[in-house]
Chains A and B, each alone.
Chain A
Amino acid sequence: MKKIVLGLVLIVLIGFYVFSLLIPKEKEESKLTLLKEKYEKKTPINVDHSKFEILKKKFNSPQEVTEACESCHNMTAHQIMNSNHWNWERAEYIKGKGIVYLGKANAINNFCIGTKGNELSCAKCHIGYGMDSTRKVFADSTNIDCLVCHDKTETYAKAQEKGGAPASGLDYNKIAQSVGKPKRTNCGVCHFYGGGGNNVKHGDLEMSMFEPARDVDIHMDAEGADLQCVDCHTTKQHVISGKLYSLSSMNLNRNNCEQCHGETPHQSSILNEHTYKVACQTCHIPIYAKVNATKMYWDWSTAGKLNNGQPYELDDSMGNHIYLSIKGNFVWKKNVKPDYIWFDGTASHYLEGDVINDTTHPLVLNQLHGSYNDPEAKIIPVKIHIAKQPYDPINRILIQPKLYSTEKGEGAFWKDFNWVTASEVGMKDAGLPFSGKVSFIKTEMYWPVNHMVSAKEKSVQCIECHTRNNSRLAKLKDFYMPGRDYSTFVDTAGTWLIVLTFFGILAHGALRIFSSKKIKKV
């Protein structure tokens, strides 16, 4: 009998031990090792452009360089001229609106509002030469700016306010002979400075990413994997994968972490289960704007104040503008915890001329769709940029003001500081009605945060979401999350039951002691 019992006990103990062996242990993921190997190999150069005679000739204009490129790459212009980098728009399907052509060419944002009428300034970041409001530039393939993306000397630069023309004094021979696969510097000169300054728009893409430290971005770590933008944003025929929902609306051609890491990259099955509903970025980008601050709030309504008739600026201690006469007040933040939303890969957009019916809530310019019950949706981190921007209260539409011009008196706000004339000229350029009244409306834009991925040790910890106080996901209330949520009824009733039981036994015990003493006395 005893032997059998002991045997049973032994079996149970062995069972526990075997089970404990089955519990996953921290291991170097083999997949990660493969990825590391893959990106350690540098691709060999197949072509040495410095040997080509045509690139040694004297170039009198940037267009001549493009012609030289096209003399060999004779199918490339077609690809470029169909790309959204060139057209500044692409066909998007928006639910309820159908197919629209949407992009920088016509979108209204809540930073510098829009490009229409402001091309000479905005097109510094266009991959072409000489865009203006007529936009004739698009017809001629020699206006393609090959160099801004392919220069590897890091000396190529575009001129300010020349519609995308290059700066003067460039050594075109040297630059043209250096061309190759774009590096972070090529993409960064535009994408890090969107909105008119470093890190204004994205928050997770800014100049520290030229040579980021490991803490800033684990993938692009200049001393580590040193990934370039195009390693993830893979490109076929000049169509670059990945896009941002400030301008996109369809769940197509997206870039994601899964393309390298797979859908269930963790050792722990509980973490892998999170990937049904939680995007990788949510845990792996605990903060953004890690090095330099990003703009969180832009108040256009205070713009136009002058000091002795002159525009002025005020800076904060970090050197960020907090007031500019031409743009108004700003709030900047560094090391920002993202906001979190459900996102299924589709978005709707405020399009120019859309009538605003609800002015009691902030107008969302790019509404990202999704909810817990949407099987496609996952929780993603976003930067929410809030602005107060000009709005026509009679026609109930957002105003596209004319901001930039070279001369005073053309109505540009940045020269004349008059909202009414700037709106009148701007709306005329945009082909929209204007009532003559300008007021300001609060708007929001949602910018998904995808970069500045931290090392796994620094990723968001369980307790940061699974907690009753200050959960990172406190605003997402449409689902039950352990640690954060509970049934108030069950918890209250349960607490009372436990407390009453406790006092019940205390009373019972006290009575027993009391009565036993009494009995002894008797």
Chain B
Amino acid sequence: MNKKQVYIYKAFERFWHWMQAILIFFLAFTGFEIHGSFSFLGYSDAVRYHNIAAYMFMILIVFAIFWHFSTGEWRQYVPTFKNIKSQLNYYIFGIFRNAPHPTKKTVLSKLNPLQKLTYFGLKILVIPLSLTSGLLYMFYRYPTRYGVDSINISTLKYIAIFHTIAAILLVVFIITHLYLITTGKTITSNLRAMLTGYEELEEYGAEENKPSDLARGDMIDKKESLIS
């Protein structure tokens, strides 16, 4: 099997990923200060920066959604239960025996089934939970302000608790994610791929999935130029 440097993460994807990483870190940091877990920035600044970062995160999400749909990349996240057992087996047993990754990474299928499931869960459950509870947190008093008492939410309690749950889940995800990026071909290969866009993949994968990364890149270019 030949190995080849493949351009696997596009520029926007990398920008989105790192921006999202920074924002989630910052939101978690300021958020848990607001939650009362510690004090560092000072309460009013923590709230102010948390809100600014929240708006930035929402803008980023809008762009990311547009990107995912316009490029068709959203298909990467459709969960599958195929191979999920072998992937689990790999993390529990294979990894210690230096066994090969059970799922081949290709441009068209960058994520292993566990990743698909996890990211799908993040996108469809955790982020929306965080976002809706966060928006309600910001605006739950607005109906009253404009005299619409009937839809006013009288207590912040459940909004806040669900927002906390989403935050805790994200923290757990980040810890796991940070660790699992070291389980690539080498310890840093995944990290390097997300920084440079290139990763050394087996050619077999690139060919198997027909359109070569180059051809595929052209295709996207065409598609995007059509859109714009």
Q: Which A residues contact B (CB, under 8 angstroms)?
A: 1-2, 4-6, 8-9, 11-12, 15-16, 19-20, 23, 270, 273, 276, 373, 375, 461-463, 466-468, 479-487, 490-491, 494, 497-498, 501-502, 505, 508-509, 511-512, 515-516, 519
- Please indicate the chain A residues that have their CB under 8 angstroms from the CB of B164 in the complex: 486-487, 490-491, 494
**Chain A residues with CB under 8 A of B97:** 515, 519
Cα–Cα distance between A228 and B182 once the two chains are bound (Å): 71
Q: B9-49 vs A: 1/0 string, CB under 8 Å?
A: 01110010001000000000000001110010011100110
Report the stretch among B53-61, B110-118, B127-135 that lies at the interface.
Answer: B53-61
- Chain A hits for B154, CB < 8 A: 373
Subset of 6 A-B contacts with CB under 8 Å: A467-B39, A479-B157, A481-B156, A498-B168, A505-B175, A508-B179
CB-CB < 8 A to A483: which residues of B? 34-36, 43
Majority SS at the chain A contact face? helix
Contacts of A479 in B (CB 8 A): 155-157
Q: Determine whether the beta carbon of B149 is less than 8 Å from that of A490.
A: no
Which of the 9-residue segments B72-80, B202-210, B217-225 touches chain A?
B217-225
Chain B residues with Cβ below 8 Å from A480 are 155-157, 160
When the two chains form their complex, are residues A9 and B15 in contact, meaning their CB atoms are under 8 A apart?
yes
Contact partner of A15 (CB less than 8 A), chosen from B34, B59, B157, is B59
Instruction: Find chain B residues with CB under 8 A from A270 CB.
Output: 47, 51
Do residues B11 and A2 form an inter-chain contact, with CB atoms below 8 A? yes
Is B171 in contact with chain A by the CB < 8 A criterion?
Answer: yes
Interface presence of B89 (CB below 8 A) = no
B10: nearest chain-A partner, CB-CB: A5
Q: Which chain A positions have C-beta within 8 A of B141?
A: 273, 276
Interface residue ranges, B against A (CB under 8 Å)? 10-12, 15, 19, 34-36, 39, 42-44, 47-48, 51-52, 55-56, 59-60, 63, 67, 91, 95-98, 141, 144-145, 149, 154-157, 160-161, 164-165, 168, 171-172, 175-176, 179, 182-183, 217, 220-221, 224-225, 228
A480 CA / B154 CA spacing, docked (Å)? 10
What 9 A-B pairs come out closest when comparing CB atoms?
A494-B168, A480-B157, A462-B43, A515-B96, A505-B179, A463-B43, A5-B11, A1-B221, A483-B36
For A491, the chain B residues whose CB sits under 8 A away are: 164
Closest to B98 in A: A519
Taking a contact as CB atoms under 8 Å apart, the answer to whether B228 and A505 are in contact is no
- Using Cβ atoms and an 8 Å threshold, which residues of chain B touch A515? 96-98
Give the residue name and chain of the A residue nearest to B179 (CB): A505
Decide if B165 touches A462 in the complex (CB within 8 Å).
Answer: no
CB-based contact B36/A484 at 8 Å:
yes
> Who on chain B is nearest to A20 by CB?
B52
Rounded to whole angstroms, the CA-CA distance of A2 and B217 in the bound complex is 11
A501, B172: Cβ atoms closer than 8 Å: yes
Q: Please report the C-alpha to C-alpha distance between residue A516 and residue B164 in the assembled complex, in whole angstroms.
A: 39
Q: Which residue of A lies closest to B95 (CB)?
A: A512
Closest partner residue, chain B, to A483 (CB atom): B36
Q: Cβ of B19: which chain A residues have Cβ within 8 Å of it?
A: 12
Tell me the smallest distance from the CB of B183 to a CB of chain A, in Å. Answer: 8
- Contact across chains for A12 and B63 when beta carbons are under 8 A apart: yes
In the bound assembly, the distance between CA atoms of A516 and B95 in angstroms comes to 9
What B residues does A482 contact at CB under 8 A?
34-36, 156, 160
Contact of A16 among B47, B51, B59, B91 (CB under 8 A): B59
In the complex, the answer to whether A462 meets B47 with C-beta atoms within 8 Å is yes
Q: Which residue of B lies closest to A480 (CB)?
A: B157
A253 to B96, CA, bound (A): 79
A466–B37 CA distance with the chains assembled, in angstroms: 11
Instruction: Say how far A517's CB is from chain B's closest CB, in angstroms.
Output: 11
**Cα–Cα, bound, A373→B157 (Å):** 13
Extra contacts, 20 of them, besides A5-B10, A8-B67, A9-B11 (Cβ < 8 A), are: A2-B11, A6-B11, A9-B12, A11-B63, A19-B52, A23-B52, A276-B145, A463-B44, A486-B35, A486-B36, A487-B164, A491-B164, A498-B171, A501-B175, A505-B175, A509-B182, A512-B95, A512-B183, A515-B98, A516-B98
